[in-house]
Amino acid sequence: MKLVERFGLAALHRLDPERAHDLSIRALSAGLVPLPGQPVTSERLRTRLAGLELANPIGLAAGYDKNGKAVAPLMRAGFGFIELGAATPRPQPGNPRPRLFRLTPNGAIINRFGFNNDGAQVIAARLAGRPRGIPVGLNIGANKDSADRAADFAAVVDVAGASADFLTVNVSSPNTERLRDLQGADALTALLRGVVEARDRLPSHRPVFLKIAPDLSDAEIGDIAKVASDCRVDGIIATNTTLSREGLAGPHAGQAGGLSGRPLFERSTIVLAKLYRATDATVPIIGVGGVSSVDDAWEKIRAGASAVQIYSALIYQGFSLVGRIARGLDERLRETGTTLDGLCGTGAADWAQR
């Protein structure tokens, strides 16, 4: 970590977490954050994910740049792909503040934002104006007060789908009441069919991913695997934040919302591995949840991930973490004489049995 990044993170951590988050977006947009410009890449790191060509398998998870205000600089931060949003059909303010909490000793955060965003139309315009470069996806959600939440997902695709390189159906956020009910087999089938139909109306193909929760039973994982296959989903993102508070301590440990960061790593990786086995490795999986080092990324891939995403760790380690993980993966692949495809799923059986 460079000295300027260290001082910047220290200054941000002296502020309210949401104010610090907003300032980091402004600093990126103003060109005040040192960025590598190009992703770390090599023949070992280059990979293909649901038709998307990635320079490396390290992505930015949704939630950091909800509104696409810093899409151009984020494309220069070293990621192989990035995901923005979540976007809903209409703008909404989200839940009351405070709604973001650092759990520094745990390397974690709790958020209960509630899909605060500028709305699909505004976000689509920002995405459409981005420079060419790495794949940029859009996480899509439903308005809190919608009478038909399933229809909201297709509505976002109609408005913003053509502006993104991939689309992620987010039915797993814990911060919109009863949203996770849409993960049930029947409801999820109807929702995904609507999204896929809307996607198929776009001028060109866009992969559709499904983002799932970590708080699922084995039976629910099996149902999701079947639905994803039946509905022609192009990939699954495992996982979103958790409602669990196991092992946490400190003044914010009991805050309501979704927990992300280091405490989520084991549970999300177990779900990933079970999903990999439930789909018979036929659906690409993006592993997210607690990735903060090259070791974590390596284990996600061993558990069955074709690529990984990070977010919470950036709050504590900065954007230089992206390059460190990519270079570390490249070196380890070289040392072991393997490939990303060859590594993927080799530890799934072990992880699934934990």
Which pLDDT belongs to residue 181? 83
User: In degrees rounded to 5, what are phi and psi of residue 307?
Assistant: -155, 170
Where does the pLDDT of residue 175 fall: very low under 50, low under 70, confident under 90, or very high at 90 and above? confident
Contacts of 349 (CB under 8 A, 6+ apart): 273, 277
Which pLDDT tens digit goes with each residue over 12-58? 999 999 999 999 999 999 999 999 999 999 999 999 999 999 999 99
Rounded-to-integer distance, Cα 138 and Cα 65, Å: 10
Domains of the chain: 3-352 (3.20.20.70)
The residue written with tokens 């504590």 in the block is 316
* Mean pLDDT, rounded, for 192-221: 96
For residue 326, report the phi and psi dihedrals to the nearest 5 degrees.
Answer: -60, -45
24, 146, 172, 173: the catalytic one is 173
CB-based burial, 182-218: b 16+ in 10 Å, e otherwise: bbeeeebbebbbbbbebbeeeeeebbbbbbbbbbbee
* 233-262 pLDDT, tens digit each: 999 999 999 999 998 988 999 999 999 999
Does 2 or 102 have the greater pLDDT score? Answer: 102
Model pLDDT, residue 141: 97
Counting residues of the chain whose pLDDT is more than 90, the rounded percentage is: 94
pLDDT at 152 over 90: yes
Q: In Å, how far are 10, 147, 230, 295 from 60, measured between CA atoms?
A: 22, 31, 28, 17
Dist CA 32 CA 287 (whole Å)? 30
173 counts as catalytic: yes
